[in-house]
A and B are shown apart, each in its own frame.
Chain A
Amino acid sequence: MSQKYYLLRNREIPDIDQMPVYLANGGYQALRKALNEFKPEELVELVKKSGLRGRGGAGFPTGMKWGFLPNDGRKRYLVVNSDEAEPGTYKDREIIERNPHQLIEGIIISSYATKAREAYIYCRGEFLFGSEQLKRAVQEAYEQGFLGENILGSGFSLDLKVYRGAGAYICGEESALLESLEGKRGNPRLKPPFPAIAGLYGGPTVVNNVETITNIPAIVTYGAEWYTSMGTAKSPGLKIFSVSGRVNRPDNYEIPLATPLRTLIEDYAGGVLPGRKIKAVIPGGSSVPLLTPDKLDTPLDYESVLQAGSMLGSGGCIVLDDQVCIVGATARLVKFYREESCGKCTPCREGTYWMTDILERIEHGLGTPADLDTLLDVADNIGGKCFCPLGDASLGVLVSAMKYFRDEFEAHVFEHACPMGAKLYDTVNH
């Protein structure tokens, strides 16, 4: 379990959030190399060869995304999505708080590659310390000549601003994020056109996640072959997995893709408490279907997790042990989507309310047999029928929980009580 950090360098280099420390540890050398040795198109090719996929959840190939920008002379934008707000996911917060310069260096290189002259970091409103760290680090980068006019004498210029959101999970969806950045309600836009064609202020725009961009300096420094030497052919490289829930060492773990789920939970996160067993795992943030313990040997890469019946998503891994009430856990997650639905489309706005009502009724022993069918019926009327992915995201855990733990839902209905004999939290030593 030897560990070599690239994304979470703050773990081995204290105070790397400070410019002098970052510089003393090779900081901004990748930027110099990118500007001196690469043309923008060559950098796009390098990222394509590395196979880097978007780490915000969708896993779309980053280099390909960059390649979608049209060459029509319009002003281009790079926007970094730092609106991390999905239960179980907390990797980007560590980067922006503890290693902001690697993100900023990645932004400058990525902007050079995509010929953007203006970039924004859209930072979640709740991340007050994170946005303060980013603003300070951006100021330091300007003072060092890494931002602004004619960066390091290369002729390339870039302005970078930190934009603080104001509390809305939906703004993590890229088009809602752009709406928010334009001073509007964070409602998703109809796609197409995709941001690459018409994004911020109508211009060609790349929207990338914090972790995605933080990979870029390492790929420039060590090369595409280094990156593809880890993981699988289709899912290469390193990934941060955020483990939480009923484990002994909840934390961010930076490991190569295709590392088995069991290794992440048992070796890195220390497994579940003594005497307990894993009941289910939500492997990729709260929007993905849960996996049962027979899938613990699944390699954590995009294709294998999909094959196992879930999605890698953001890598937010929530572990449920055998004392967790699955109905209570499901009700809690669906309530999250009810609270965060932007209200733009009816299936999501009404459906998440309806499902939460039913789930809370069942959890409190007041459900009826018809409720179980109604739940799945409502879910069926949300799935694939919403304006943006938030509606579908509310179903992943619910539908899989009803598939794998139907007996537990029925026990709540027919016995009018939780068969675990407990509320969601009662089993915690607190």
Chain B
Amino acid sequence: MKPEWIKWAQEAKEQFPEANSSLLPLLHRIQQAEGWLSDDTIRDVASLLGLTTQYVESVASFYSLLYREKVGKNVIHVCVGLSCALAGADKVMEELEHKLGISEGQTTPDGEYTLLEAECLAACNLAPVVQRNLRYHGLVNTAQLDALLADDEKEVKS
């Protein structure tokens, strides 16, 4: 357990009337620092909040943005909802799979990129939409994907 986690857990607990509410904020904060949530992390979080390991695991495994397996430094989410599909999301996914040399759900061998589907990112006016580390890139076409992979500053704000 990293020393700062004790401080973070205390800060999270102080935010809410009941301790359980601090679970998601603490998991978010630790994942932000570590990149993912290992079995050891889950056990440590349980200990910090006075919960059982099984309980923390049951919660962490429910949410798609809490990663229980190691992910790349950059997590790419391709929205595959209907509006994005109508605008070419499947082609965007195919192109990204080709460029990264991996299939959806996988991480590149160098640990740089993980490629995932997202079920509607609520940005249908910008379809097709991709998120890189949860930052929006909208109206993406296949020609722009190299720039998207290289450039994390091009955030789209509606």
Contact = CB atoms under 8 A, between A and B. Distances in A.
Interface of A: 84-90, 92-94, 97-98, 118, 124-129, 161, 163-169, 180-186, 201, 242-246, 250-252, 286, 316, 318, 320, 324, 328-329, 332-333, 336, 339-340, 342, 423-425, 428, 430
Contacts of A125: 28, 63, 65
A85 B120 contact: yes
Nearest to A336: B119
Interface of B: 15-25, 27-28, 58-59, 62-66, 77, 80-83, 85-91, 118-125, 127, 131, 134-136, 141-142, 155, 157-158
Given A318-B83, A336-B119, A425-B89, A181 B21 contact: yes
Given A97-B157, A430-B141, A88 B82 contact: yes
Interface centre among A124, A166, A181 (most CB of B within 10 A): A166
Contact of A90 (B62, B125, B141): B125
B158 to A, nearest CB: 5
B122 A98 contact: no
A90 B123 contact: yes
Given A90-B124, A129-B136, A245 B65 contact: no
B83 A87 contact: yes
Given A88-B124, A126-B65, A250-B124, A182 B81 contact: no
Contacts, number: 164
Contacts of A94: 158
B20 A183 contact: yes
Contacts of A161: 15-16
A161 to B, nearest CB: 7
A336 B23 contact: no
Contacts of B18: 182-183, 201
A171 to B, nearest CB: 9
Given A126-B134, A244-B127, A316-B124, A425 B65 contact: no
A87 B123 contact: no
Contacts of B85: 328-329, 332, 424-425
Contact of A425 (B28, B91, B120): B91
Contacts of A87: 81-83, 119-120, 124
A158 to B, nearest CB: 15
Given A88-B124, A251-B125, A340-B119, A183 B82 contact: no
Contacts of A186: 62-63
